Amino acid sequence: RKEVEQDPGPFNVPEGATVAFNCTYSNSASQSFFWYRQDCRKEPKLLMSVYSSGNEDGRFTAQLNRASQYISLLIRDSKLSDSATYLCVVLKINQAGTALIFGKGTTLSVSS
C-alpha cells in the first residue's frame, strides 16, 4: 500500500463550482500534513498546512481525520487560476531527519 494515496482525477469543473479532494495515508504515527500546489512544469509550492481542528484560508478549507487517516481539501468558488495539480503531503520524521511523502497529485481543471 502506498504511503499517501490520492484520486488522480482529473476533476473538470466550471468556474464558481465547489470541489473536494481526498487523500489517505498509511502511517498512523504521522503528525504533520500539507497540501501543495503544482502548476504544469513548475515546482511544488505549499498551499496550506492541515491541522486536526481543520483550517481555512479564504476559499480553501483543509480537514484531517486521524481516526480514518484521511485528509481533505475543499475549494469553494473555483477560479480559472485554481487549475493545477494538488499534492497531498505527509511529513515523515525519524531519527535521521525529515522528508515529505507526496501523493501522486489530483489534477484540477477549471473552465469558464
Partner 1 sequence: DTGVSQNPRHKITKRGQNVTFRCDPISEHNRLYWYRQTLGQGPEFLTYFQNEAQLEKSRLLSDRFSAERPKGSFSTLEIQRTEQGDSAMYLCASSFGPASGGANEQFFGPGTRLTVL
Q: How far is CA 19 from CA 30, 45, 51, in A?
A: 26, 20, 20
In the complex, minimum distance from the CB of residue 102 to partner 1, in angstroms, rounded to a whole number: 3
Contact predicate 12/111, CB 8 Å: yes
Q: Which of 14, 40, 96, 112 binds partner 1 (CB under 8 A)?
A: 96
46 forms part of the interface with partner 1 (CB under 8 A): yes
105 forms part of the interface with partner 1 (CB under 8 A): yes
SS3 81: helix
Residue 47, phi-psi category: left (phi > 0), alpha (psi -120 to 50), beta (remainder): alpha
Q: Which of 11, 19, 33, 44 binds partner 1 (CB under 8 A)?
A: 44
In the complex, minimum distance from the CB of residue 16 to partner 1, in angstroms, rounded to a whole number: 28
- Segment 48-77, which members bind partner 1 (CB under 8 A)? none
